[in-house]
Amino acid sequence: KAWVNIMYGCDKFCTYCIVPYTRGKQRSRSPESIISEVKELKENGYREVTLLGQNVNAYGKDLDTDYDMSNLLEDVSKTGIDRVRFVTSHPWDFTDNMIEVIKKSENIMPYIHLPLQSGSNRILKLMGRRYTKESYIELYNKLKKAMPACSITTDIIVGFPSETTDDFNETLEVVKTCKYDSAFTFIFSPREGTPASKMDDNIPEEEKEQRLYKLNEYVNKYALENNKKYLNKTVPVLLEGLSEKNDDLLMGYTDTMKLVNVKAPREDIGKIINVKITDVKTWSLDGKKI
């Protein structure tokens, strides 16, 4: 697997984020240089590339051309490399054209990381996220309608300055609606130099921890529910190396970014093999080579 930077910096200025101040304005690489890099990786035996950027969906907006992320995804797909992924997405820039390209391209993986951050419109506005809970859910439903089997993961911050119990409960309601495959969850911590660091951080630490605990109960519940759908199914897995907990097993990821531990010979490392899932856990699957 390889990671390819397609852009640097960010123009979004979310109020809790230091990136625009430390890495500067968004700067997209030329499509030609990215495609050339992916072709070279493919020739050197790489099976998967992940296109990286603070907000990959905004790719190309600074290039003064009509070329955008949907065009780049399509052109990277046409290189013929086995697997294409991209992170991180911002819901604001996720276009219908992008969804169409992902849906029709067999080598663009059905896995979307779509940060929510909060389910409260009031908090989203304070965060400077520029979308609403309603528009986020609309996008989520579009993705699931186009690709019912895709996995969707997210980021959520609890305890943002002035977040009330009602605000937090709105976040829980979105989690219950979207039933994410997994989520990175965080307690708000101020970054010096950001607008949010100047806000009144008025929520007791104990309250923040209780909210995180409650949130994670739902995240874990839905992660397991989603994994259970894989039991007894055969899925493609790119084997990356030895399993962390058992040298007799190999580990790799499905197209939907599920971690799988599988009994297979070591010479299969680096290959995409079919694996039948024999057991499921909250954060991983077990399987055997078919």
pLDDT digits (tens, 9 = 90+) for 244-258: 888 889 999 999 999
The mean pLDDT value of the chain amounts to: 96
For residue 194, cis peptide bond before it (omega within 30 degrees of 0) = no
* Confidence bin at 16 (pLDDT 50/70/90): very high
Is 50 a residue whose pLDDT tops 90?
yes
Give me the pLDDT at residue 283, please: 94
Average pLDDT value for residue range 134-140: 97
pLDDT at 272: 97
What per-residue confidence (pLDDT) applies to 80? 97
Q: In terms of Cα–Cα distance, which of 87, 95, 75, 63 is closest to 35?
A: 75
What is each CA distance from 67 to 19, 60, 73, 74, 102, in whole angstroms? 24, 6, 11, 11, 16
Angle 139-209-170 (CA atoms, 0-180°, nearest 5)?
30
CA distance 253 to 106: 16
Give me the amino acid identity at 97: N
Mean of the pLDDT values across residues 48-68? 94
pLDDT at 263: 92
pLDDT in tens, 195-242: 999 999 889 999 999 999 999 999 999 999 999 999 999 999 999 999
- Distance between CA atoms of residues 188 and 190, nearest Å: 7
Per-residue confidence (pLDDT) for residue 235, from 0 to 100: 97
Q: Is the pLDDT of residue 108 over 90?
A: yes
Mean pLDDT lowest among 17-21, 37-41, 119-123, 186-190 = 17-21
Q: Is the pLDDT of residue 20 over 90?
A: no
Question: Token pair of 60, please?
Answer: 């190309």
pLDDT category of residue 266 using cuts at 50, 70 and 90: very high
User: How far is 116 from 156, CA to CA, in rounded Å?
Assistant: 6
* For residues 36-48, average pLDDT: 97
Average pLDDT over residues 261-280: 96
- How large is the average pLDDT for residues 18-47? 95
What is the pLDDT, as a whole number, of residue 100? 97
Sort 146 into a burial class: Cβ within 10 Å, 0-12 / 13-18 / 19+. Answer: middle
Instruction: List the end-to-end C-alpha distance of the chain, in Å, as a whole number.
Output: 23
